Structure 1
Amino acid sequence: MKKYFITGLAALTLTFGAATAKRVLDHSSFDNWKSVKNSELSRDGRWAAYSEVPQEGDALLTIHDTRTGKNILIPRGYNPKFTANSKWAVALIKPLFADTRKAKIDKKKDLDMPQDSLAIIDLSSGKVTRIADVTAFKLGKKGGEWIAYTCVDTTLLKPKSKERKDKKAGRPLVVRDLATGNSKTIKNVKEYVFSEDGMNLGVTLRKAEKDSLSTDGVGVMLLPDTSFILIDRDRKYYGAPTFDVAGKRLAYTASMDSTESGTLRADLFLAEINRTSSITPRLIPTSRTERAPINLALPHAADAAQQAELQEQRAKAIKASAGDSLFVNQYSPLLFSHNGKRLIVGVAPYVCPDDTTIVDFERADLDIWRWDAPQTPPQELKNVEKARSHTFPLVIDLESGRDCLLTTNPLVAISAPDRWDADWAMIADPTKEKISHQWNYLAPEEISVINVLTGKMMPVTTAMKEGTELSPADRFILIYDDRNYYAYEIATGKTVPLTTDIPYPIWDETTDYAMMQAPYGTAGWTEGDDAVLIYDKHDIWSVDPTGNRKPVCLTAGYGRKNNLRFRYEKTDPEERAIKNGQQMLLRVFDYGDKRHGLATLTAGKAANPDIRILDGYQFSQIKKAENAPVITFTKQNFSTCPDIYLAKNADFSKAQRLTDTDSQRDEYWWGTAELVKWYAYDGREVEGILYKPGNFDASKKYPMIAYFYEQNSEELYRHYTMEPSWSWINFPFYTSRGYAIFVPDVHYTPGVPGEGAYNCIVSGVEELCKRYDWIDKDHIGIDGQSWGGYQTAYLVTRTNMFACAGSGAPVANMTSAFGGIRWESGDSRQVQYEQGQSRIGRNLWDAPELYLANSPLFKLDRVNTPLLIMHNDADGAVPWYQGIELFMGLRRLHKPVWMLQYNGEAHNIRARKNRKDITIRFQQFFDHFLQGAPMPEWMKYGIPATRKGQEMRTGLVEE
């Protein structure tokens, strides 16, 4: 017996002809492969920050001067931030990768591990100040030249140990003047926050248990004089403080309770920030539940008297269900309205501490499933921590002292009024149809509006939540129903149709799911809710929500005329509405040749968009300077790595390239991508992508792997980073190694998803084999993950044309999968078959024949294709037993099958060590069947449980 071991290029059996400077990608290529991340722009647009980050190793942070072109380099820097005045940059610095790796190998703990450092960069001089042992930092959002950062506190270490002896205690917080370098330190800081202007700093203090000289409390540091005022002290608990937008008020929660379980009964305090030596907080009382408004949508009432009666009935119901009072607790979030007149706080019923007298070994441990409960135990258990910390929003009017509880139903979703300044919030209540969500994605919800000051509630409609939204100026509720948009005007209670005069569908007419088509969506609203901007397949329409004006195509029909798609790219994260005259940045997509681009359009005026660039690339990571016409973005396609470019005045065709990660690709054979079209067996024209091998020579024969998942032809110009597999094949890794990759679009008909895959995939493979002599038709494999894994399992029961197949997380038996649980959410899988991706379109009892016909399990006797399954035992999307059913069936029938089961891994592999491992094993599997490489040891002999973790058996054997 001969053994062959993979050692870089030594294991390659590729025939690339003459010697060349280029080489093929292999498993040693992953770790040093760099990508650009952490891009930031200063507010004035002068400075750009970005990191070049290897997959394993030390990154390089660059601060680039867009005027002079000079760079400031920060080795291992990450998380860069600019001050509001654009004079300073700040970033964290990671320890050397090698040092951290060694510390992990040596099993170092906590503070004995290498720590981050802080870099402070003076942009005027380029001087970099480094500060060791920093854990985090914050800056003022819109002003100030101060930084606050937390440090490692060595006084909290256990004797002869680098572990913290009190993990609840706060850390030292250093507050530093960036201009002078002067600083002050506040001990025991647990939470800290700057006011928006950066001139006040609020903190909560948590002392160490045995520290008798310090105190717990809440304080504020006033800048620039750095005077510190302790506002409150000596309570058992303090919540994180929150400033209003003006920085003049500080709110926080506090409690004398110290229970470790249940909820704390806390109080809400408000402090007026002044420049004196004393700040006295005042207690903000909150109402009892009987003063709260009703919380659920009411049925339509004939008159005001009936409406009032319904209000009273519902208020009594709330009191009965919630108890006498709701309290502020340790989970209560705090938020000021933008104008500072309201404070929103979370409240909840009191939960008593756990009963410590319970004898656990005498108490049954079980879950009870109740047929009429809104949620099943898996759903509740998956969200148990969220449920324990859930609070209900209480809106407090700080001028009058009145408050309003918006709901006590944990199932409802509340859409807040604009920055909480306006008076109406939207409530979507799924309670009545909650159980039907088990099989109906579009189960209607009761939509209502509630006045956040008075509690007055008005029913709006019953509709699906998707496509329903509150307008930013608080005037309308936008509703999507029955393939049309409607607007409900809050002031009048009138509902008007909006899109009946748009001559084209505003819903996705290409979807093949067995449910009502979703809308294309909206670009947003214009100022004052004057118009809502609605998408069709190609263009953007300005629609009057009152219905008085006819819809106007803002893009003047240019998209439809030229087979393009325009979509608004929001570059201001704080934008509330689109202003008339504003220059809108639009993404452009060409449906024909799949090019991408960017365009501009003046808001409020119908015109052809000004296409600034339309090319064979994708554009991403788009960021604009807040106060300057400067934009950074990445540009990439399959054969070009993403690099950062900088454009001024939206002149993207003349953008300046800032990084050069693409140069790392120059030493490797990579491959190319091209669009292909063919006719499926049902006569439909289908599109797909053909990736040709690197160093392609049409006179040679190449094996091909078909990979599929829904429709991917729009990704023709997508770049795939050279990295270990997430659970499916990495395209450039295989094209570099002499494979062609075929990615067909797949179109379905509800009820026959398996045949839809056969119709598109197999017809495409056959056509390419006829069209291109260089494809080795005897050495074609297929690979799919999740939904693609199911299609792989189905196809090998339908045809013997493939030499091998890879199937990740497949469904083998739709009858058992239909009744399963998606363990990552606790949700039932039934809806996926009746309305979702699995596309059966009917339930199991009405159409059992469809579930049987589409299940590979019942046709495994037809399989003659060697199959490699990957299914992990912590898969939260497709139950692990589906892979087992597939494996055990093929094993029983003596069919060649292997299954990789990564312990503790989810639907897609996350741990890098496992990603590297599956990359090796998938490559060996395909190399064996498609390139004639020897079989690896793990395929021939497996790995005995007694050698698990000790031997990987990736060596190649030849009898």
Structure 2
Amino acid sequence: MRPNNIKYNRKTGTFRKRVLVFYIVLASLLISFFGFAQKKHKKQLTAADYHLWSYLKAEKLCENAKWVSFSVSYENGNDTLFVKNSTGTRTFNFPRAGKGEFIGDNWFCAISPKGELLITDLLTSKQEIIAKVLRYDLRVGTKDIILLKKQSDGNKELELKNAATNKSTILNDIGNYWYNPEADAVVYTIKSNNNTIIALLNLSDKTTTVISSNPIVFEYSDIVWQKSGKSIAFLQQPLNDDKKTTRTCVGYYTIAEHKLYTFNPAQQDNFLANMEIISSSFAYLSISEDGKRIFFGLQKTVIPVDPSQVQTWNAQDKFLYPAKVQIDGWDRTAKVAVWWPEQNRFNCITDNEFPKMMLSGDQKQALLYNPQQYEPQANRDAPLDIYILNLETEDRKLVLQNQLGGETGTSVSIYEKHIVYFKDKHWWVYDLGSGLHKNLTKDLGVTFSDEESDWPEEASPFGNPGWMRHDKTLFVYDKYDIWSIAINGRGAVRLTKGRENKTVYRIVSQSKDESTKMNYDGSYKGQFGPSDRLLIKTEALEHTGYCFWDKKNGLKPLLDKKMNTSQFITSAKSEAYVYVEENFRLPPRLVIKESLNSKEKILFQSNPQHFKYNWGNSKLITYTNSNGTVLNGVLFYPANYHADKKYPLVVHVYEKQSKELYSYVNPSQNNPTGFNIANFTSKGYFVLLPDIVYEIGNPGFSAVDCVVSATRKVIVGESSIDSTRIGLTGHSYGGYQADYIITQTNMFKAAVAGAAITDYVSGYLRVAWGLQKPNFWHYEFGQLRIGKSLYEDYPAYLRNSPIYHADKVETPLLSWAGEQDSVVHYFQSIEFYLALRRLGKINTMLIYPGEDHVLMEEKHQQDLTGRIEQWFDYYLKGEKGLEWF
């Protein structure tokens, strides 16, 4: 539209000149005025404002997508759980509540910080409060709530409550309960008449069946359900006073037959007297899917290690002394046994010869291995020889030899009798029935391992997220795409087209069946049904998004944006979905789309105060190193940026960081490594995050080359950066890079290095105490990227160590470390400090007591954050220095 008082000349196609000039001048004045007013209206962010910022998490979407729950959390703990309708017109809030769950589309439950169960009718806004609730579950497919609560006398009661009718069934004197939706039943423990009872409550007809009853000197624990809900297993344990005379037993109960089986060690001829039944994270109680076998843990009674004894470190030991003593020939490691209840027969599966195991998909066989087999050796994980044990016949057979160690190499299918493993850059399958190995990917023409990795170790596979059981196919990843491959080797289909546009496609878990589950010392992979709709996330350099895929419709794009998208949640009974989106200038916000063809709607914008403050911006940059390799990085602009003003620059280093392009960063004083991008941009700094690629044997030079190249590129490309005021900072491997870079260039006026490796020679000859392994692997095969031992390439260890070039340092350095750092010993920082001290250089070192590799105590996080900013403010902005300098 044009103003009414401007006349238009149809013949000349122009406005009257004088009026036009007047309005142009007026418009420019107004634009200038309002632009100035807008900038002036914006606030300058200070540390006093940081507490206003929160973190957004999408929680749940109800069945028909009428309501969404999400939480907003603050560093001070003043968190809130919200429920909002899909139209955005009604909101409920539950301060500091958790474990929110929808019951259909009408009710919402949550636990308050006082232990109250809050049941809210979303249609009427009425709320019922039930006090002293310890835990609760929702009965699937109904409006029932199962809850355990404390009674006034200190005992506990189990209540089955209907949210619609408000009717309840209550059981008193309950110990605990375990719910299974497949069985539509609850197992619970109860004390009655000096007896401890374990019983089954059928939720459909409210009938109760006593499974087992024992004198009160016993307790029932570790109750587990068969996956189908047809049976349960549990431990029957004596209380402390009776453990010397009575042993722990295993109970197994079949629901249809109402039959209880008991495994009593005292009645088993082959049960060792010095073993006890246990359930632990790696030797847990479980039931096979067919209900025929029960697995449980065994632990040998061991004498505590005497710390006063002389330590004997033998170079030929399989493990270092601390690990050797802790394992004690595997005597101290829990074992796994199998019991056949119907025959009352049992065997040990693992022993000291083969202490580690995974179950096959049908749970009739076990994969056994000993991680000591190829020790001592230099890598973090030794190769494995894997044997298959037939649990019924006890026959054992070697099936994989010198297999890549760690979980990346071997995975066990949950489809019948197959082992899928990665070897020689390909995915293979071993058929336990036929004994044949088959290469599944040799003819596909793409690489399934990360050949572009610049670590010296053998390239790892991109991944095997799971299986489609009905179709007998598995999913594997290449660099970009998802493949579906028939287990019999007769075909493979590329489900996505990521290679064409350099977009990475990866499956996102939506349920427990799709996520990786523990399989004793390994893991099962995700299981997908033939009609399942897979959720897939897409990631490219400047785009993120999501897709659906199913067999019938193929790939269906949902969203693709130039921002960071995450926390995608789908609806159970509609096409609706919600997700969170953000970029550096936009705080995370919750978005809903009610159908695939509807418009997106913003349900909640976190941190609305953000828009009242001056803020920076982020930009992707491209540069080349001296080898001509094209690299990326992210340049963050200062808040309230003016092109005609000069600003200092802080360069943060750590391998590849361009993925941070769209990350929103809350300003905060609580930073585990003391560095915060938003803090610096709000204080008038540019911040650069360059990508670094490495040449094996020359990681230090590679860091210098890439970082200097990136810094020069932004100095030339952005005239507002003051090339005389550039700082450098990094932590861990980034700390190493910062220390090394300042030995090779005087480009940086000040530097900060946290938990840095400074001496490759002494670091190589240290123990990685967190792993109880020699540190060799980190240098020869891992992140430190030498690729050879100290004795094969001694010059490489010298030329890549900052400490041997400390005489060249002209940059004032602030270094810091945790005194209990189990990753990089703080002596590494002390060594560099002493070198700089001897040379008369400027260095201040901070050692934080009780802290590990990153700082966990808030007072230390705040102290470090403040000191780093003061360090750069002094050297890059000329502000007043402090006494601690």
Asked if TM exceeds 0.5, the reply is yes
Q: Which residue of 1 aligns with 2:308?
A: 364
Amino acid in structure 2 at the alignment position of 1:670: W
Q: Which residue of 2 aligns with 1:391?
A: 334
Q: Which residue of 2 aligns with 1:242?
A: 224
Change (3 A) 1:481 1:604: farther
Conserved in 1, the CA contact under 8 Å of 2:58 and 2:567? no
Q: CA deviation at 1:228?
A: 8.6
Q: Which residue of 2 aligns with 1:202?
A: 187
Q: How does 1:66-465 map to 2 (within 5 A)?
A: 66=86, 70-83=90-103, 88-94=107-113, 115-123=114-122, 125-140=124-139, 145-151=144-150, 172-179=156-163, 180=166, 182=168, 184=170, 186-187=172-173, 189=175, 191-196=176-181, 199-204=184-189, 218-221=198-201, 223=203, 225=206, 231-245=213-227, 247=229, 249-256=231-238, 258=240, 265-271=247-253, 281-285=260-264, 326-329=275-278, 331=280, 333-349=284-300, 351=301, 364-365=308-309, 367-379=311-323, 391-409=334-352, 412-418=355-361, 421-436=362-377, 439-441=378-380, 443-462=382-401, 463-465=403-405
Q: Distance in 2 between matches of 1:273 and 1:872?
A: 55
Q: CA deviation at 1:389?
A: 8.4
Change (3 A) 1:828 1:644: farther
Change (3 A) 1:69 1:715: same
Compare 638-647 and 814-823 and name the one that shifted more: 638-647
Specify which structure has the higher proportion of strand: 2
* SS, match of residue 884 in structure 2: helix
Q: Deviations over 1:391-441 (max 9, x none)?
A: 3333333444444432224975433344xx5534434442312432xx224
Conserved in 1, the CA contact under 8 Å of 2:53 and 2:607? no
Change (3 A) 1:754 1:673: same
* SS, match of residue 456 in structure 2: coil
Q: CA deviation at 1:341?
A: 3.8
Compare 767-776 and 745-754 and name the one that shifted more: 767-776
Compare 335-344 and 134-143 and name the one that shifted more: 134-143
Q: Deviations over 1:98-125 (max 9, x none)?
A: xxxxxxxxxxxxxxxxx44332233454
Change (3 A) 1:153 1:756: farther
Conserved in 1, the CA contact under 8 Å of 2:58 and 2:579? no
Q: Distance in 2 between matches of 1:565 and 1:72?
A: 38
Q: Which residue of 2 aligns with 1:749?
A: 695
Q: Which residue of 2 aligns with 1:663?
A: 608
Q: Distance in 1 between matches of 2:764 and 2:561?
A: 44
* SS, match of residue 713 in structure 2: helix
Q: Distance in 2 between matches of 1:614 and 1:649?
A: 16
Task: Report the TM-score when normalising by structure 1.
Answer: 0.79
Q: CA deviation at 1:25?
A: 2.9
Conserved in 1, the CA contact under 8 Å of 2:294 and 2:341? yes
Q: Deviations over 1:242-262 (max 9, x none)?
A: 333455544321234626999
Conserved in 1, the CA contact under 8 Å of 2:53 and 2:667? yes
Q: Distance in 1 between matches of 2:240 and 2:663?
A: 54
Q: Deviations over 1:861-901 (max 9, x none)?
A: 11111111110101111011111111122122221111122
Q: Which residue of 2 aligns with 1:688?
A: 633
Matched, 1:891 2:837: yes
Q: Distance in 2 between matches of 1:626 and 1:542?
A: 25
Change (3 A) 1:781 1:74: same
Q: Which residue of 2 aligns with 1:53?
A: 73
Compare 842-851 and 452-461 and name the one that shifted more: 452-461
Q: How does 1:633-782 map to 2 (within 5 A)?
A: 633-650=579-596, 654-723=599-668, 724-782=670-728
Q: Distance in 2 between matches of 1:394 and 1:483?
A: 35
* SS, match of residue 20 in structure 1: helix
Q: CA deviation at 1:328?
A: 1.7
Matched, 1:932 2:878: yes
Amino acid in structure 2 at the alignment position of 1:364: S
Cα RMSD for the two superposed structures: 3.4
Q: Which residue of 2 aligns with 1:524?
A: 466
Matched, 1:41 2:61: yes
Q: CA deviation at 1:17?
A: 11
Conserved in 2, the CA contact under 8 Å of 1:144 and 1:199? no
Compare 698-707 and 565-574 and name the one that shifted more: 565-574
Q: Distance in 2 between matches of 1:146 and 1:932?
A: 63
Q: Deviations over 1:76-97 (max 9, x none)?
A: 22221335x5654321222xxx
* SS, match of residue 816 in structure 1: helix
Amino acid in structure 2 at the alignment position of 1:800: N
Amino acid in structure 1 at the alignment position of 2:534: M
Q: Which residue of 1 aligns with 2:23?
A: none
Percent same amino acid at aligned positions?
25
Change (3 A) 1:498 1:820: same
Q: Which residue of 2 aligns with 1:836?
A: 782
Q: CA deviation at 1:380?
A: 6.0
* SS, match of residue 431 in structure 1: coil
Q: CA deviation at 1:370?
A: 3.8
Conserved in 2, the CA contact under 8 Å of 1:174 and 1:185? yes
Task: Report the TM-score when normalising by structure 2.
Answer: 0.86
Q: Which residue of 2 aligns with 1:163?
A: none
Q: Distance in 2 between matches of 1:152 and 1:809?
A: 51
Q: Where does the alignment leave 5 or more consecutive residues of structure 1 unmatched?
A: 1-15, 95-114, 156-170, 208-212, 292-321, 940-959
Q: Distance in 1 between matches of 2:381 and 2:831?
A: 32
* SS, match of residue 839 in structure 1: coil
Q: Which residue of 2 aligns with 1:585?
A: 535
What is the aligned length? 829
Q: Distance in 2 between matches of 1:644 and 1:383?
A: 49
Q: How does 1:463-478 map to 2 (within 5 A)?
A: 463-465=403-405, 466-478=408-420
Q: Which residue of 1 aligns with 2:499?
A: 560
Q: Distance in 2 between matches of 1:206 and 1:388?
A: 37
Q: Deviations over 1:259-299 (max 9, x none)?
A: 69999831112345589xxx8854235699997xxxxxxxx
Amino acid in structure 2 at the alignment position of 1:175: E
Amino acid in structure 2 at the alignment position of 1:92: I
Conserved in 2, the CA contact under 8 Å of 1:449 and 1:457? yes
* SS, match of residue 251 in structure 1: strand
Conserved in 1, the CA contact under 8 Å of 2:360 and 2:418? no
Q: Which residue of 2 aligns with 1:27?
A: 47
Q: Which residue of 2 aligns with 1:874?
A: 820
Q: CA deviation at 1:367?
A: 4.3
Q: Distance in 1 between matches of 2:471 and 2:392?
A: 22
Amino acid in structure 2 at the alignment position of 1:461: L
Conserved in 2, the CA contact under 8 Å of 1:145 and 1:198? no
Q: Distance in 1 between matches of 2:784 and 2:774?
A: 13
Q: Distance in 2 between matches of 1:807 and 1:152?
A: 55
Q: Distance in 2 between matches of 1:810 and 1:661?
A: 36
* SS, match of residue 442 in structure 2: coil
Conserved in 1, the CA contact under 8 Å of 2:563 and 2:662? yes
Q: Aligned to 2:769, which of 818, 823, 826?
A: 823
Q: Distance in 1 between matches of 2:678 and 2:721?
A: 18
Conserved in 2, the CA contact under 8 Å of 1:472 and 1:529? no
Amino acid in structure 1 at the alignment position of 2:308: A
Change (3 A) 1:336 1:330: closer
